[in-house]
């Protein structure tokens, strides 16, 4: 047996020298490329570190964190935003408790992000103790939600559709809470012209995706339908919207729409932008959903009909649930794209994140040449959000096994 | 069957409200009526508003003088030209930035894709970092960084940064050595075009003959000789050189000579190229990875050299996967060039907005602009469908 034991011993792990030789210095061209890359990395890193820590003046960023977050939203009403943030955190915790897995990873990442934000090495004068405590409190909200969610889940008392419904309800609540009401003293009206910053960016993207979902599904079904007139109308809408840049659509809804509506019907600017985003997203959503519909085999239709279901029941109960499951990754991808596209709202005069940055630069003559700092900061914010969303979506795909089939 | 109902309510013994054909038509007509009523509602409001506020809805204004200057234009332009001409100049600017952008983005994308597939760990990861950073930052933010963060903060003309080339970077834009056409350019142009067409023809014909007969005809070599030879002959025949090298020289207040890119154009171009390059890199990488190893091994087993394998096996298979998404990236770049409006490059959208501000003809201008973008994208999908049909035929 001594011989077989020597056979099953693991082969020696390749040492670092072997790894280096294989991956960096396998031949003279590779060696050359390695030397070149190291030089590039060294110079870039030195320049970046030098700029970030010694040359750049971060005053316009550090001194205006609130503006980046919520824009000109009135300071004494900011508690409403906190309520929304806490609501989302708690919901995230509950969802993590319910589904675990990737959602849990995402909830943990959110918690870490709150912690990092609360501990940001910035003078207290710009990020006060209260704000830091409020940020840290979200950790508790996530934890409480998680405990409640996982406990209910263990007793099988938490239905998935309730959680989804609660998400939808919290979305509606967000809009009501932010806008307030005319005659309520506790929740005075905050005109949508005062919404801004990252909050508005998220709002535009979320409204765009949520509202475009039903329209997109209907358009996709219309495009697949056997009724020629319906089909033609759906195809026309989808192709026209996809064929023109988003800027033209936003311009259309923000400048031309008032011409098309009677004088009694006035829609405010943010709503018009949301309408444009929704119409734009709906056309792309329709194409995504169509991809899902096409992935359903004909046998499913035939089986449903054989069971005696009519066309409507077949679509609603058999086809759509399967088709929508397949397109979840595509919808997440579309949300990320829409999130980045919200920056175009600056062109029609909304105060979203990018516009806040440009307004801050114009607000103080001393900051006249600090464009790079401000826009690099905004780029970083976008990158953190989009990259983590893309990462999470990849994990979901792998976990569910979607995209493999 | 309810026999007491009148007979016209039945078709082949089925009551109309259960007849699938009838129901389908009713559904269609109902939806069409709804949509038409909605459009009618919108248009009647528009006509009312137009009458009340005296808005014009015709295209007559296109002939009136524009009255606004344009920072740059491919064709000669001055404010006395008409609105229609200004829009045309804007369209040509869009096309200009798109064509140059597509060309450069393809090169950048190809380099990044090859780097991502490299066996060198560092090179692979540098390219990966580039793709993952650029694709996750909104294009408009990148354009702001290029324009406000970089090009607007360049030193004045007198302290212009000078790069090898010579290329000069200053607030006035980018100056570089250019080859400018002279008077004899029109004599030389036929030789250039002829060289292109003939070399392509010769390549196709010789290759077809080689495939048919099995005899080596060296199509690539002959094509290359024609491609270089004909224009060189034309150059020698022409009385004076058709292209002249022009070097930018710093005068008292500005550079003279050379090729100038305005800061707006340079920023837009840089932004579009770097952004689209990252997407193209992923497209090309996916295409190359899609070629199965067996194909390459089979080609090797057939005795093809590595260059022949690349040219005759890997590339044709990869291109079939690459070209459709690549073309839609090109279309995206063209549509994204409309973001020029945010940094002040006078493209078609910018001119359209200026016209709306000046003449107030919002609707006609908009319909025109959307129609142009739409026909660009329909044209692209036409090419795509044509290409897809062709490669499908090859496949079977």
pLDDT digits (tens, 9 = 90+) for A85-94: 999 999 999 9
**Residue B396 predicted with pLDDT over 50:** no
Give residue A21's pLDDT.
80
Q: Is A48 exposed, middle or buried (0-12, 13-18, 19+ CB in 10 A)?
A: exposed
Put simply, the chain A residues between 138 and 157 with a CB less than 8 A from any chain B CB are none
Chain A interface disruption, residue of B97, B98, B115, B137, most A CBs within 10 A: B137
The pLDDT tens digits of the residues spanning B375-388 come to 988 888 888 888 87
Spatial contact of A277 and A342, defined as CB atoms under 8 Å apart = yes
Lookup result for tokens 């009385």: B239
pLDDT > 70 fraction of chain A, expressed in percent and rounded: 95
The total number of residues shown for chain A amounts to 405
Nearest CA in chain A to B371: A244
Of A289, A261, A288, nearest to A275 (Cα)? A261
C-alpha torsion angle, residues A236, A242, A245, A251 (rounded to 10): 50
Residue A400: the pLDDT is 63
Q: Tell me what pLDDT residue A1 has.
A: 46
pLDDT of residue B56: 67
DSSP state of B240: S
| Smallest Cα distance from A386 to chain B, Å | 6
Does B31 score more than 90 pLDDT? no
How many residues are listed for chain B in this entry? 396
Query: Kindly report the CA angle at A358 between A357 and A361, in degrees rounded to 5?
Result: 90
Cα(B324)–Cα(B61) distance, integer angstroms = 40
All residues at 6 or more sequence positions from A318 whose CB lies less than 8 Å from its CB, including other chains: A300, A301, A303, A304, A309
Task: Judge: A386–B142 Cβ closer than 8 Å, yes or no.
Answer: no
What confidence score (pLDDT) does residue B183 get?
A: 78
- B100, B285, B312, B393 from B295: Cα distances, Å: 35, 17, 11, 19
* Closest residue by Cα to residue B321 from B287, B285, B289: B287
CA dist B148 and B263 (Å) reads 10
CA A191, A193, A197, A202 torsion-angle sign: positive
Q: Report the half-sphere exposure of A350 (CA within 13 A, side-chain side).
A: 31
Nearest by Cα to B308 from B320, B318, B319, B299: B299
| A113-139: pLDDT as tens digits | 899 888 888 888 888 888 899 888 999
Model ipTM over 0.85: yes
CA distance A275 to A253: 7
Residue A404 has pLDDT above 70, yes or no: no
Give the mean pLDDT of A18-22.
Answer: 81
Q: Could you give phi then psi for residue B11, rounded to 5 degrees?
A: -130, 120
Q: What share of chain B is helix, strand, coil (3-state, %, to 5)?
A: 70, 10, 20
pLDDT in tens, B87-104: 899 999 999 999 999 999
Q: Which residues of chain B does A383 touch, with a Cβ-Cβ cutoff of 8 Å?
A: 133, 136-137
DSSP type of residue B65: B
- In this predicted structure, the answer to whether residue B67 has a pLDDT above a threshold of 50 is yes
Which residues fall within 8 angstroms of residue A378, CB to CB, at 6 or more apart?
A68, A353, A354, A357, B141
pLDDT the model gives residue B15: 78
What average pLDDT does this structure show over B150-167? Answer: 83
| Per-residue CA distances from B92 to B19, B77, B81, B114, B381 (Å) | 56, 12, 15, 33, 21
Measured distance CA(B34)–CA(B27) in Å, rounded: 11
A268 has a chain B CB within 8 A of its CB: no
Contacts of A256 in chain B (CB under 8 A): 362-363, 366
The backbone region for A100, taken as left when phi is positive above 0, alpha when psi lies in -120 to 50, beta otherwise, is left
Q: By the CB < 8 Å criterion, does A387 face chain B?
A: yes
* pLDDT at residue number A405: 38
Instruction: Return the HEC string of chain A.
Output: CHHHHHHHCCCCCCCHHHHHHHHCCCCHHHHHHHHHHHHHHHHHHHHHHHHHHHHCCCHHHHCCHHHHHHCCCCHHHCHHHHHHHHHHHHHHHHHHHHHCHHHHHHHHHHHHHHHHHHCCCCCCCCCCHHHHHHHHHHHHHHHHHHHHHHHHHHCCCCCHHHHHHHHHHHHHHHHHHHHCECCCCCCECCCHHHCCHHHHHHHHHHHHHHHHHHHHHHHHHHHHCCCHHHHHHHHHHHHHHHHCCHHHHHHHHHHHHHHHCCCCCCCCHHHHHHHHHHHHHHHHHHHHHHHHHHCCCHHHHHHHHHCCCCHHHHHHHHHHHHHHHHCHHHHHHHHHHHHHHHHHHHHHCCCEHHHHHHHHHHHCHHHCCCHHHHHHHHHHHHHHHHHHHHHHHHHHHHHHCCCCC
Helix count and strand count (H, E) for chain B = 12, 10
The partner residue sitting opposite A259, judged by closest CB among B49, B142, B349, is: B49
CB B154 within 8 A of CB B169: yes
User: From CA A262, how far away is CA B364, in angstroms rounded?
Assistant: 20
Report chain B residues whose CB lies below 8 A from the CB of A35. Answer: none
Cβ–Cβ of A261/B45 closer than 8 Å?
Answer: yes
> Given an 8 Å threshold on Cβ–Cβ distance, is A259 in contact with B46?
yes
Q: What is the mean pLDDT of the segment spanning B160-165?
A: 80
**For residue B256, what is the enclosing H or E element?**
strand B255-256
Measured between CA atoms, how close is B79 to chain A, in angstroms? 25
Question: Which carries the bigger pLDDT value, residue B134 or residue B230?
Answer: B134
Q: Which residues pair with B260 in a beta bridge?
A: B175
**Which of B390, B130, B82, B391 shows the shortest CA–CA distance to B280?**
B130
Distance CA A140, CA A138 (A): 5
Contact B106, B280 (CB under 8 A): yes
Q: Please compute the mean of the pLDDT values over residues A296-315 and round it to a whole number.
A: 90
The mean per-residue pLDDT over the stretch B243-261 comes to 79
- Of the partner residues A230, A244, A347, the one whose CB lies closest to the CB of residue B341: A347
Confirm or reject contact between A350 and chain B (CB < 8 A). no
CB B359 within 8 A of CB B83: yes
- A32 and B CB contact within 8 Å: no
**What residue has token string 């014009």?**
B56
Beta-bridge partner residues of A89: none
Biggest CA-to-CA distance, chain B = 101
Q: Please count the other Cβ atoms lying within 10 Å of the Cβ belonging to residue B208.
A: 12
CA dist B365 and B357 (Å) reads 11
Mutate one of B20, B134, B148, B333 to test the A interface: name it (highest A CB count within 10 A): B148
Q: Which residues of B89-103 are buried (b: 16+ CB within 10 A; e: fewer)?
A: bbbbbbbbbbeebbe
With a CB-CB cutoff of 8 Å, which residues 360-389 of chain B face chain A?
362-363, 366, 369-370, 373-374, 376-378
Listed residue (A381, A373, A379) closest to A57, CA to CA: A373
Structure-block tokens of residue A383: 């990158």
What's the pLDDT at A240? Answer: 92
Q: Summarize pLDDT for A45-60 with one digit per residue, the tens.
A: 999 999 999 888 888 8
More confidently predicted of A400 and B187 = B187
Whether residues A256 and B363 touch (CB distance < 8 A) is answered with yes
The reported pLDDT for the residue numbered A17 is: 82
Give CA B32 to chain center in angstroms.
36
Q: Which two tokens stand for residue B143?
A: 């354009």
Answer for the pair A298, A249: CB distance below 8 angstroms, yes or no. no
């Amino acid at each position: 047996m001594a011989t077989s034991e020597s056979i099953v011993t693991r082969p020696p792990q390749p040492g670092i020298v072997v790894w280096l030789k294989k991956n960096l210095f396998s031949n003279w061209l590779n060696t050359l490329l390695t030397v070149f890359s190291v030089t590039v990395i060294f110079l870039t890193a030195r320049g970046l570190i030098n700029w970030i820590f010694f040359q750049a003046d971060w005053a316009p960023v550090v001194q205006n964190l609130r503006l980046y977050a919520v824009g000109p939203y009135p300071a004494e009403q900011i508690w409403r935003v906190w309520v929304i943030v806490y609501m989302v955190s708690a919901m995230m915790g509950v969802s993590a408790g319910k589904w675990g897995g990737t959602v849990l990873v995402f909830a943990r990442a959110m918690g870490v992000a709150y912690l990092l934000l609360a501990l940001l090495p910035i003078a207290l004068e710009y990020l006060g103790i209260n704000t830091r405590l409020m940020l840290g409190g979200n950790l508790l909200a996530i934890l409480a939600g998680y405990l409640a969610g996982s406990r209910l889940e263990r007793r099988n008392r938490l239905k998935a559709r309730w959680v989804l419904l609660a998400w939808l309800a919290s979305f509606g609540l967000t809009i009501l809470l932010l806008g307030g009401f005319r005659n309520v003293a506790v929740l005075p009206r905050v005109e949508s012209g005062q919404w801004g910053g990252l909050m508005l960016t998220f709002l535009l993207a979320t409204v765009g995706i949520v509202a475009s979902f039903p329209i997109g599904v209907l358009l996709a079904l219309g495009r697949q339908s056997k009724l020629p007139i319906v089909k033609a109308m759906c195809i026309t809408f989808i192709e026209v919207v996809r064929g023109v840049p988003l800027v033209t659509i936003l311009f259309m809804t923000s400048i031309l729409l008032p011409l098309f509506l009677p004088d009694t019907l006035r829609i405010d600017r943010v709503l018009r932008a949301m309408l444009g985003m929704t119409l734009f997203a709906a056309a792309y959503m329709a194409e995504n959903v169509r991809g899902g519909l096409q992935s359903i085999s004909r046998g499913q239709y035939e089986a449903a009909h054989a069971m005696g279901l009519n066309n409507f029941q077949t679509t609603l109960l058999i086809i759509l649930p399967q088709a929508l499951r397949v397109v979840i990754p595509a919808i997440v991808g579309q949300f990320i794209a829409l999130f980045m596209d919200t920056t175009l709202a600056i062109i029609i005069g909304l105060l979203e994140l990018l516009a806040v940055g440009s307004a801050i630069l114009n607000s103080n003559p001393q900051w006249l040449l600090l464009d790079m700092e401000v826009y690099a900061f905004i780029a970083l914010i976008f990158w953190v959000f989009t990259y983590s969303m893309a990462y999470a979506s990849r994990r979901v795909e792998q976990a569910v096994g979607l995209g493999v089939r | 069957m309810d026999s007491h109902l009148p007979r016209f309510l039945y078709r082949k013994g089925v009551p109309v409200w259960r007849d699938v054909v009838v129901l389908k038509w009713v559904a269609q007509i109902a939806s069409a009526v709804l949509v038409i009523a909605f459009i009618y509602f919108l248009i009647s409001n528009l006509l009312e508003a137009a009458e009340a506020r005296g808005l014009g809805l015709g295209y007559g204004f296109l002939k009136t003088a524009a009255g606004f200057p344009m920072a740059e234009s491919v064709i000669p332009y001055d404010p006395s030209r008409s609105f229609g001409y200004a829009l045309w100049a804007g369209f040509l600017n869009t096309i200009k930035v798109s064509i140059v952008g597509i060309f450069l983005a393809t090169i950048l994308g190809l380099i990044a894709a090859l780097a991502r597939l490299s066996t060198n760990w560092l090179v692979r990861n540098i390219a990966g970092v580039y793709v993952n950073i650029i694709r996750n930052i909104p294009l408009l933010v990148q354009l702001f960084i290029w324009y406000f963060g970089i090009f607007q903060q360049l030193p004045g003309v007198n302290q212009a940064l000078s790069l090898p080339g010579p290329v000069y970077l200053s607030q006035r834009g980018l100056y570089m050595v250019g080859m400018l056409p002279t008077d004899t350019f029109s004599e030389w142009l036929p030789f250039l075009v002829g060289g292109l067409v003939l070399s392509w023809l010769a390549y196709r014909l010789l290759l077809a003959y080689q495939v048919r007969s099995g005899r080596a005809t060296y199509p690539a070599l002959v094509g290359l000789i024609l491609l270089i030879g004909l224009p060189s002959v034309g150059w020698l025949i022409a009385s004076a050189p058709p292209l002249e090298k022009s070097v930018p020289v710093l005068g008292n207040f500005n550079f003279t000579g050379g090729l100038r890119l305005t800061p707006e154009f340079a920023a837009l171009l840089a932004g579009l190229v770097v952004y689209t390059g990252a997407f193209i890199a992923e497209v090309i990488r996916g295409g190359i990875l899609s070629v199965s190893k067996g194909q390459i091994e089979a080609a090797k087993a057939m005795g093809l050299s590595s260059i022949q394998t690349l040219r005759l096996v890997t590339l044709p298979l990869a291109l079939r996967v690459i070209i459709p998404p690549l073309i839609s990236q090109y279309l995206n770049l063209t549509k994204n060039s409309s973001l020029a409006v945010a940094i002040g490059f006078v493209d078609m959208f910018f001119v359209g907005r200026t016209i709306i501000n000046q003449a107030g003809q919002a609707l006609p201008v908009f319909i025109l602009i959307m129609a142009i973008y739409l026909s660009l994208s329909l044209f692209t999908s036409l090419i795509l469908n044509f290409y897809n049909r062709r490669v499908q035929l090859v496949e079977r």
